[in-house]
Amino acid sequence: MKNIFIFDTTLRDGEQSPGVSLNVKEKIALARQLAKLGVDCIEAGFPIASPGDFEAVRAVSQSVEGPIIAGLARTSEADIKRAWEALKNAERPRIHTFIATSPIHMKHKLKKTPDEVLKSAVDAVKLASSLTEDVEFSAEDAFRSELNYLCELFEAVIAAGAKTINIPDTVGYATPWEFGEFIKAIRERVPNIDQAAISVHCHNDLGMAVANSLAAINNGATQVEVTVNGIGERAGNASLEELVMALYTRRNYLKADTNVNKGEIYRASKLVSTLTGMLIQPNKAIVGKNAFVHESGIHQDGVLKERETYEIMNPAMIGVPGNNIFLGKHSGRHAFKMHLKDLGYDFEGEVLDKAFKSFKELCDNKKIVLDEDIIALIDTEALKGPETYQFSYLNVSSGTNIVSTATVGVNVNGVLYEQAAIAKGPVEATYAAINSIVKQEFILEEYAINSVTSGRDAQGEVVVKASYQGKSFTGRGISVDVIESSARAYLNAINKALNMTKNYSSEKAEGM
């Protein structure tokens, strides 16, 4: 059995998904979950890209133990030094440097000759290797590069100190047969290939990222770069859960497996979806809501008689929670704390108090509180950054053929501000009232609502994208009252915008 090294780039390539932007607190929470999941390497960000990215890579390097922590850098000296600055406190740091090698990228994007690109790559790897032993080199758009040139370049970067060479299909153009052949050819033609690990990084533009990664493994790749839920640029990257479960489920045929702790997959998937605001399509393999649901009578009958008639994987194995009811209205703080621990949250002090208060409020509004309710509540509430605007109350009047009215109360520095607004619908009226408290131009770009569990009293989880000064911010809110979830989600996006936008003029905000 070959052991395949899982390089997770959810925090870097995944965060490059349109409209996604995570704060440092969220990135640390996610990195901790990735460490629990047992990935071998976490690419925590692209330190030179922004101060926020730098801070996130530094914070993850300092606080997450276990996996290698990688930071991305172009081949310039400034990029590599900045990446090292962010990574240097990691237990096991890795500099990941890259440059494009395809004719189209070299000519139009880089405006460099192949020789210049080769020199930049070698110089970058030498510099990175003088800072750390663990250096990965990626040839961006490798699959559309000229094979002889690519082999020459890989030979040179390995000689310069690269310990991993990464072969991306940056635009998701390959098919599995071709990609497998491509990896095999590189393996056969690069004379010093035994001194480096072969990695692949497949994008999903034609829906073949996982298949291409498997074909690469079959032809000698020992590292795959993936993201949780397959999020990433455009159609995303190879999905971690699909790749890991394909290797595990078909291990006798594929003769390869990973170190991933499969029981943490579902939790990681939920957390990524909650924090990024990217909902998971119901029929998504492994983690979609319907992935283990049997609708037709024939299938149900089969599964009842023998689960394996229609199930090739056991949902419990990836950590899908059962309908467990451990806690309720009468549970105390200690029982709550211990149960949170079982669910993977080690909370103390203020964070625990806040979580317990939200849980008690939920018990007042929902008869049966399931683990999924608690997880959704905690991920939404406990991971919030600082809140300039705190939801206080909402009063809505709405109906058929009448104008909706909303009155919203928001606390700013302990002072309650209230505004009322009318509109065609209750959400629009609520958002108009919030806008007049905030006194800023926030434009609602996307709005989605999802029920956390089934049942008439289920919590509604709202995810919004609001733009401010041309940048999008995701917000989420949860409540058994969906208009309240909507208000909370909008305020969450506003607070994030304020925390992330330096030039926000706080004097403009009412109450400040």
**Which residues of the chain form contacts with ligand KIV (CB under 6 A)?**
13, 98, 138, 140, 166, 168, 170, 201, 203
Comparing CA positions, the residue from 147, 194, 129, 172 lying closest to residue 13 is: 172
**Is 249 within 8 Å of 240 (Cβ atoms)?**
no
For 232, which DSSP code? -
* Contact positions with Zn ion (CB under 5 A) in 431-450: none
Q: Is 169 in the site for Zn ion (CB under 5 A)?
A: no
Distance CA 294, CA 311 (A): 9
Count the Cβ atoms, other than its own, within 10 Å of residue 169: 28
Record the tokens describing residue 19, joined without a space: 């409209």
Q: Which stretch binds Zn ion (CB under 5 A): 13-21, 116-124, 135-143, 348-356?
A: 13-21
Nearer to Zn ion (CB atom), residue 13 or residue 242: 13
What does 468 bind: Zn ion, ligand KIV, none (CB cut-off 5 to 8 Å by kind)?
none
Q: C-alpha angle 317/22/41, rounded to 5°?
A: 50
Name the minimum Å distance from CB 16 to Zn ion.
8
E strands, 251-330, in order: 256-258
CB of 140 to ligand KIV, least distance (A): 4
Strand, coil or helix: 117: helix
CB of 226 or CB of 271, closer to Zn ion:
226
Closest to ligand KIV by CB, 95 vs 480, is 95
Distance in Å, CB of 171 to Zn ion, minimum: 9
- Minimum Å gap between C-beta 426 and ligand KIV is 42
- Inter-residue contact 493 to 473 (CB < 8 Å): yes
- What angle is formed at CA 21 by the lines to CA 166 and CA 104, rounded to 5 degrees? 40
C-beta of residue 165 within 8 angstroms of C-beta of residue 154: yes
Helices (H), 73-196: 77-87, 103-104, 114-131, 147-160, 176-189
* Interaction between residue 8 and Zn ion (CB under 5 A): no
Q: How far is the CB of 246 from Zn ion (least distance, A)?
A: 20
140 binds, among Zn ion, ligand KIV, none (CB under 5 to 8 A by kind): ligand KIV
Query: CB 364 → Zn ion: shortest distance, Å?
Result: 46
Check binding of 43 to Zn ion (CB under 5 A).
no
Rule CB under 5 A: choose which of 8, 13, 141, 484 binds Zn ion: 13
Residue 136 touches Zn ion, criterion: CB under 5 A? no
Determine the Cα–Cα distance for residues 403 and 439; give it in Å rounded to an integer.
23
| Among Zn ion, ligand KIV, none, partner that 490 touches (CB below 5 to 8 angstroms by kind) | none
The least CB distance from residue 10 to ligand KIV, in Å, is 12
Q: Whose Cβ is closer to ligand KIV: residue 136's or residue 484's?
A: 136
> Is the Cβ of residue 98 or residue 391 nearer to ligand KIV in the bound state?
98
Give the Cα separation of 107 and 296 in Å (integer).
55
Chain residues binding Zn ion by CB under 5 A are 13
